[in-house]
Every structure is written in structure tokens, then in C-alpha cells.
Amino acid sequence: MTMCELCGRTVAINECEIEGTVMKVCAECSRFGKIKGRSNVKIVVQESRRKETNEPEYVFLPGFGSRVKDGREKLGLKPEDFAKKINERESLLHQIEREHIKPNIALARKLEKVLNIKIVEEVKQEDTKQSSNVKRSGNDALTLGDFVKKR
């Protein structure tokens, strides 16, 4: 399969002259230059399937930033001292306390442990394979026929 030399997509490719250089690009990127010729590559649309993982999903509790700030203040630590203690940048700690960014799960767990607070919660996922409303075909994948009601 041929990839667009400009954006990296794997689709039909056109030879196109862009700023004096002949490149193999997709139809969308060909607007940046002058089309020289078309190759004989077919368009292939790949279905995007979300891989099922057993990894838990997490949700940040409302007000997680103020919880971190309150916990730090209860320990009597200034932001720069606390940042050194947990081996993180002070600017990152400020952004978390203001809720401008959400920390990754590892950092969130570290903050919870050091400050003895709760800022993330694991989301329980429903098992879609055992749904009683949907009749299943022989394999594990859902098909359109699994959702169609016969009269």
C-alpha cells in the first residue's frame, strides 16, 4: 500500500509537483501543488475498530485541583517544596492545582498517596457481551443482523 509523502495517509496516490518537487500525495494534499499524473493505487478504507482492553478507565473527580492544593497546604508545604518532594516540576503542579491540565494516572496516584486524598475514580465498564437485549451470532463480533427486529 502506498503512503502519501506529505501527510502519511494510505490512500489513492497522485503524482504532484509541489514547489518544484514531484511527490506522491493523496487527493487532499494534491491541492498544494499541480497534479502530474495518477497512479493505479485503489482507495482502501480501513475500518477503525477500537481494541478491547482490560485496562480500567479513570475519571477525575470534580475539584481535583483544589483537593491537591488543600492537601499540599495541610502538609504545610510551599508549591516549590512539594514539587521537589514528589520529583515533579513546579509549573506542572501549578497547572494541576488550577485544573488547566489533568495529570496522567501515574502522577495522579502519586499525588493521592503523598497527600492522602482521592482525585481519580475507576469507571466500571458494563460487559456488552452479556447484554440480554441483543441476540448474538456465533462469533463475538456484533453484526447488523444482531440489532434488526424481524416482524
* Joined grid coordinates for residue 25: 500525495
Per-residue model confidence as pLDDT tens digits over 134-150: 554 455 677 767 777 66
Tell me, what's the pLDDT at 81? 94
Domains and CATH numbers, the chain: 1-46 (no CATH), 57-123 (1.10.260.40)
pTM over 0.85: no
Tell how strand 14-18 and strand 21-25 pair up: antiparallel
How many CA atoms within 13 Å lie on the side-chain side of 112? 14
Tell me, what's the pLDDT at 87? 93
Q: Where are the beta strands (DSSP E) in the chain?
A: 14-18, 21-25, 34-38, 57-60, 120-123
Tell me, what's the pLDDT at 97? 94
Tell me, what's the pLDDT at 9? 78
Percent of the chain with pLDDT over 90: 40
Q: Which of 39-48, 99-108, 142-151 has the lowest mean pLDDT?
A: 39-48
Tell me the average pLDDT across 117-121: 93
